[in-house]
Homo-oligomer: A and B are copies of this chain.
Amino acid sequence: MENKGRTEISTLGEFGLIKHLTEQFELKNESSIKGVGDDAAILDYKDKQVLVTTDLLLEGVHFDLTYCPLMHLGYKSAIVNFSDIYAMNGQPKQITVSLGISKRFCIEDLEELYAGIRLACKQYGVDMVGGDTSASLTGLAISITCIGEGEKGKVVCRNTAKNTDLFCVSGDLGAAYMGLLLLEREKNIFKGDENAQPDFAGKEYIIERQLKPEARKDIIELLAKNNIVPTAMMDVSDGLSSELLHICKQSGLGCRVYEDRIPIDYQTAVMAEEFNMNLTTAALNGGEDYELLFTVPLSANDIVQNIPGIKVIGHTTDESLGCRLITRQGDEIELKAQGWNSLK
């Protein structure tokens, strides 16, 4: 919360506030018939299927405003929902945003938050069509619902992988988690000294992956361009290991994933070294990568190998063979879901 004027929210009231925050959003999608300002938004999806996903983000659990600027938080809150729609092989088209706001926030703070949401909407071609704003007795609460479209017959679920499919993943893994650990460390070091500025030189990538992640619209477009419809897909939000198990369990399969194929960025590796942490563990369980994990038939091997940004990391097997990681040494280790879980 930067120092640039502080207008109390009570000066606008609920309806004034919603109007103030949403009036800069224009409706651009053909399916957005009516947005903010009525009991419900009106959408028209014609012959497309409607995809709906929702996320509730709570201060202190999902984000920490000490190191997460409000604009980034707004951007990320939107992106994580877009990512869920892409993970169905769909296109996000609309979002609704509900906020619970405690007294320490002023209108300028909310403008920052909405600026981030607006930027995300603009980048990804999504319309803001509704929401709700109320007081919160404690921290900030952000609830976003995203609605998207999918073509009939091309929407991809988690439970439809087939035996001997290839497991593919986009981008690289573990960076967002390393970014989080770095931010937490700096927060603890600088606690009490408001003017201290941590030095993140050479660590920009992992910080950006944590504070300003992107959803893989580009990968969905590349797959379509190459006529590939994955057999199963989901986004990597809780950690690769956890997501591999979801797809395998829901599809009634096992898998073999190769440690040396897991894509990891150089900065992630350096940071893991600094934290004295096993790099593969970080990549398997880190979470918040928002990359796409998907399966394709073995016959698509040549095509996916040639798509930049996609890596084949293993394959599915019969369920009886279990879900295992093959280490660099050739050992087999049982995959476990040790990803982030706020309820543990």
Least CB distance from A226 to B in Å reads 22
Report which of B42, B88, B100 forms a contact with A38, defined as CB distance below 8 A.
Answer: B88
Copies of this chain present in the complex amount to 2
Known A52-B96, A58-B134, A132-B54: A101·B40 in contact at CB below 8 Å: no
Taken together as a complex, chains A and B put the C-alpha atoms of A58 and B140 apart, in Å, by 11
Is residue A136 contacting chain B, with contact meaning CB distance below 8 A?
A: yes
Least CB distance from A51 to B in Å reads 4
Contact, CB under 8 Å: A53 / B33: no
When each residue 93-131 of chain A gets 1 if its CB lies under 8 Å from chain B and 0 otherwise, what string results? Answer: 010101111000000000000000000000000000111
Least CB distance from A111 to B in Å reads 15
Is residue A90 contacting chain B, with contact meaning CB distance below 8 A?
A: yes
Contact, CB under 8 Å: B145 / A52: yes
Considering the complex, which residues of chain A in the window 1-53 have a beta carbon less than 8 Å from any beta carbon of chain B?
9-10, 12-14, 17, 33-34, 37-47, 49-53
Taken together as a complex, chains A and B put the C-alpha atoms of A51 and B344 apart, in Å, by 36
Contact, CB under 8 Å: A56 / B141: yes
Known A100-B61, A343-B134: A42·B49 in contact at CB below 8 Å: yes
Taken together as a complex, chains A and B put the C-alpha atoms of A152 and B33 apart, in Å, by 11
Is residue A133 contacting chain B, with contact meaning CB distance below 8 A?
A: yes
Contact, CB under 8 Å: A85 / B49: no
Task: Please give, as numbers and ranges, the residues of chain B lying within 8 Å of A50 by CB-CB distance.
Answer: 42-45, 50, 147
Contact, CB under 8 Å: A39 / B143: no
Known A96-B145, A157-B34: A39·B61 in contact at CB below 8 Å: no
Taken together as a complex, chains A and B put the C-alpha atoms of A161 and B342 apart, in Å, by 48
Taken together as a complex, chains A and B put the C-alpha atoms of A10 and B341 apart, in Å, by 10
Task: Please give, as numbers and ranges, the residues of chain B lying within 8 Å of A143 by CB-CB distance.
Answer: 54, 56, 98, 141, 143
> Which chain B residue has the least Cβ–Cβ distance from A103?
B343
Q: Which 8 A-B pairs have the closest CB atoms?
A: A143-B143, A56-B98, A40-B53, A135-B342, A138-B138, A43-B50, A39-B87, A39-B84
- Residues of A whose CB lies within 8 Å of any CB of B are 9-10, 12-14, 17, 33-34, 37-47, 49-56, 58-62, 83-85, 87-88, 90, 94, 96, 98-101, 129-139, 141, 143, 145-148, 150, 152, 155, 157-159, 234-235, 250, 341-344
